[in-house]
């Protein structure tokens, strides 16, 4: 059994109400990613003030990511989204450090502060989309699952070890980064460049407490049609309608999803029935309401998300997709649709499962009586950025819940408490 098991377990049990209250308050603070900007700062300041009560200010680093030398020059920095230049003023990363005594193996708990917007749909369980209220053991609100609960868990694991007076040999970190949603990742890249030599990290994206040892990649794409001519309803000219062309593109996208992607064999870390997806998000041409109609439009677009496995290379993916679409759209009248990505190409990540930190994590699960399961995740995230921009390997382990990015998003609080226990136990075992 990991040393200090009883102390850590009892500390979390005694502090459940405080943990829930702190998470609720954090959820109530809107920290939406709103490209080209984001309003993460109030959440980061709240977390800074919380952490400053037990971590000395010299070990708290609240920094503007643009301050990081070489950030914009780094090959993984992506400056735009859908053509908009991203802005990072007043969007700081936060890193807390619990220094070790001997500089032994170091561990990081990583999460992001930004959330997707709450949306316009009505929420049913609690009408307020940032209520932070609990019903049947589930806390509701935008960002409750993705991923304020996981982010806060890392900071509470630090607090647990601090309050218990446990002196580790190696350094222990917790961080909250900005701009992860919408394929951001630039906040993660900045944090890696800031602390490039941390040995291992637990990224607490929601996994249902499964150890995610592989993630998928992907990107958001646009299919764009722009026709020549005046549009309108003229009777003396031929009107080439982009809607018909987009409809043919939509059918080709469906075929790629149903027939081509299933040919990509999933790695062994995934279930055998795991299938990559092409998700069509938006089909737009000629406006959205009746009052905007009344004429043949001149242009239109389709936005879609295309997934990839970690073993797939960006150049080969682009070429294969382009060739498929050219074949499917052969003979199309007028100009060919234009295809391109609107965000960065996100790579997949593979964890080195032989890393000593993974042994410590498995030990923590065993001591807590939790079933340990490791497998690939059908999620794209910033995990790949760790090895791309630092020497830090990473595994993805986060709480249980449902509806991330959707209405009635919630996190199961028992899974949050177990996550904190696991993090603290793994830190004691791994950092020494």
Q: Which two tokens stand for residue 105?
A: 């193996």
- What is the residue whose two structure tokens read 């503007």? 64
At a CB cut-off of 8 Å and minimum separation 6, what does 301 contact? 222, 223, 224, 225, 246, 282, 284, 285
Read off the CATH number of the domain in which 294 is found. 3.30.70.360
Read off the CATH number of the domain in which 411 is found. 3.40.630.10
Asked whether residue 52 is domain-assigned, the answer is yes
Asked whether residue 283 is domain-assigned, the answer is yes
CA angle (386 as vertex; 49, 318 as ends), nearest 5: 130
Across the strands, what pairs with 62? 94
User: What is the reported pLDDT for 333?
Assistant: 82
Q: Are residues 390 and 314 in the same domain?
A: no
Q: Are residues 175 and 266 in the same domain?
A: no
Residue at which a domain ends, from 341, 370, 404: 341
Q: Is-cis flag, bond preceding 153, omega within 30?
A: no
Asked whether residue 354 is domain-assigned, the answer is no
User: What is the reported pLDDT for 103?
Assistant: 82
- What is the residue whose two structure tokens read 């053509």? 83
Q: What's the structural domain count of the chain?
A: 2
Q: Are residues 187 and 322 in the same domain?
A: no
Q: Quote the pTM value.
A: 0.95
Nearest 5°: phi and psi at 358?
Answer: -65, -30
Q: Are residues 10 and 111 in the same domain?
A: yes
- What is the residue whose two structure tokens read 């917007």? 117
* 296: DSSP letter: B
* Residues of the domain holding 328: 217-341
Q: Are residues 236 and 179 in the same domain?
A: no
Rg (CA), the chain: 23
Residue at which a domain ends, from 341, 371, 389: 341
Asked whether residue 233 is domain-assigned, the answer is yes
Closest-CA residue to 253 (of 273, 279, 232): 279
Residue at which a domain ends, from 285, 311, 341: 341
* 152: DSSP letter: H
Q: Are residues 13 and 57 in the same domain?
A: yes
Q: Are residues 11 and 113 in the same domain?
A: yes
Q: Compute CA distances 97 → 232, 393, 406, 432, whole Å.
A: 63, 18, 33, 16
DSSP states along 19-44 = HHHHHHHHHHS--BEETTEE--HHHH
Q: Are residues 336 and 388 in the same domain?
A: no
User: What is the reported pLDDT for 60?
Assistant: 98
Asked whether residue 58 is domain-assigned, the answer is yes
Asked whether residue 358 is domain-assigned, the answer is no
CA distance 392 to 369: 28
Closest-CA residue to 16 (of 425, 432, 416): 416
Closest-CA residue to 49 (of 66, 26, 27): 26
Asked whether residue 353 is domain-assigned, the answer is no
CA distance 219 to 348: 11
> What are the pLDDT tens digits along the chain (432 aa)?
778 999 999 999 999 999 999 999 999 999 999 999 999 999 999 999 999 999 999 999 999 999 999 999 999 999 999 889 999 999 999 999 999 998 889 999 999 999 999 988 899 999 999 999 999 999 999 999 999 999 999 999 999 999 999 999 999 999 999 999 988 899 999 999 999 999 999 999 999 999 999 999 999 999 999 988 788 887 777 788 899 999 999 999 999 999 999 999 999 999 999 999 999 999 999 999 999 888 989 999 999 999 999 999 999 999 999 999 999 999 988 889 999 999 999 999 999 999 999 999 999 999 999 999 999 999 999 999 999 999 999 999 999 999 999 999 999 999 999 999 999 999 999 998
Across the strands, what pairs with 80? 85
Asked if 112 and 212 count as a contact pair (C-beta separation under 8 A), the reply is no
User: What is the reported pLDDT for 334?
Assistant: 80
Helix (H) or strand (E) holding 215: strand 211-226
Q: Are residues 198 and 245 in the same domain?
A: no
User: What is the reported pLDDT for 202?
Assistant: 98
Torsion of CA 184, 140, 31, 52, to 10 degrees: -110
Asked whether residue 370 is domain-assigned, the answer is no
User: What is the reported pLDDT for 263?
Assistant: 95
DSSP states along 278-328 = EEEEEEEES-SSGGG-SSB-SEEEEEEEEEE-TT--HHHHHHHHHHHHHHH
Q: Which two tokens stand for residue 316?
A: 């080969």
CA distance 376 to 266: 9
Q: Are residues 196 and 84 in the same domain?
A: yes
Between the two ends of the chain, the Cα-to-Cα distance in Å is: 14
Q: What percent helix, strand, coil does the chain show, rounded to 5?
A: 35, 25, 40
User: What is the reported pLDDT for 44?
Assistant: 98
At a CB cut-off of 8 Å and minimum separation 6, what does 73 contact? none
Q: Compute CA distances 191 → 4, 67, 114, 315, whole Å.
A: 30, 11, 15, 27
Give the side-chain half-sphere CA count within 13 A for 121. 10
Q: Are residues 115 and 257 in the same domain?
A: no
Q: Are residues 158 and 248 in the same domain?
A: no
Nearest 5°: phi and psi at 246?
Answer: -65, -35
């Amino acid at each position: 059994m990991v040393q200090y098991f009883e102390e850590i377990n009892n500390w979390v049990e005694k502090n459940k109400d405080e943990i829930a209250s702190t998470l609720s308050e954090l959820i109530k603070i809107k920290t939406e990613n709103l490209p080209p900007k984001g309003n993460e700062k109030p959440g980061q300041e709240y977390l800074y003030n919380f952490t400053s009560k037990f971590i000395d200010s010299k070990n708290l680093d609240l920094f503007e990511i643009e301050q990081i030398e070489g950030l914009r020059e780094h090959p993984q920095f992506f400056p735009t989204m859908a053509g908009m230049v991203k802005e990072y003023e007043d969007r700081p990363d936060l890193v807390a450090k619990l220094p070790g005594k001997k500089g032994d193996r170091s561990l990081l708990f990583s999460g992001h502060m930004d959330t997707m917007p709450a949306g316009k749909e009505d929420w049913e369980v609690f009408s307020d989309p940032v209520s932070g209220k609990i019903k049947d053991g589930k806390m509701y609100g935008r960002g409750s699952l993705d991923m304020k609960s996981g982010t806060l868990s890392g900071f509470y694991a630090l607090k647990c070890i601090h309050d218990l007076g446990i002196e580790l040999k190696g350094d222990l970190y917790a961080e909250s980064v900005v701009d992860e949603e919408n394929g951001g990742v630039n906040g993660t890249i900045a944090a890696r460049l800031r602390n490039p030599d941390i040995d291992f990290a637990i990224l607490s994206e929601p996994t249902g407490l499964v150890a995610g040892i592989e993630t998928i990649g992907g990107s958001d794409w646009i299919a764009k049609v722009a026709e020549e001519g005046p549009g309108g309803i003229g009777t003396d000219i031929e009107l080439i309608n982009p809607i018909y062309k987009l409809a043919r593109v939509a059918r080709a996208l469906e075929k790629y999803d149903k027939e081509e992607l299933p040919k990509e064999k999933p790695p062994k870390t995934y279930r055998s029935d795991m299938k990559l997806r092409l998700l069509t998000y938006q089909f737009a041409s000629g406006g959205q309401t009746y009052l905007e109609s009344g004429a043949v439009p001149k242009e239109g677009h389709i936005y879609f998300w295309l997934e990839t496995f970690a073993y797939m290379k960006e150049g080969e993916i682009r070429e294969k997709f382009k060739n498929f679409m050219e074949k499917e759209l052969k003979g199309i009248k007028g100009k060919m649709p234009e295809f391109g990505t609107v965000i960065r190409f996100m790579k997949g990540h593979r964890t080195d499962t032989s890393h000593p930190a993974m042994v410590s994590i498995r030990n923590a699960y065993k001591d807590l009586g939790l079933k340990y399961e490791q497998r690939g995740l059908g999620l794209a995230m910033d995990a790949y950025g760790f090895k791309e921009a630092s020497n830090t390997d990473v595994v993805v382990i986060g709480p249980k819940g449902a509806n991330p990015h959707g209405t009635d998003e919630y996190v199961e609080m028992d899974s949050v408490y177990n996550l904190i226990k696991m993090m603290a136990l793994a830190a004691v075992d791994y950092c020494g």
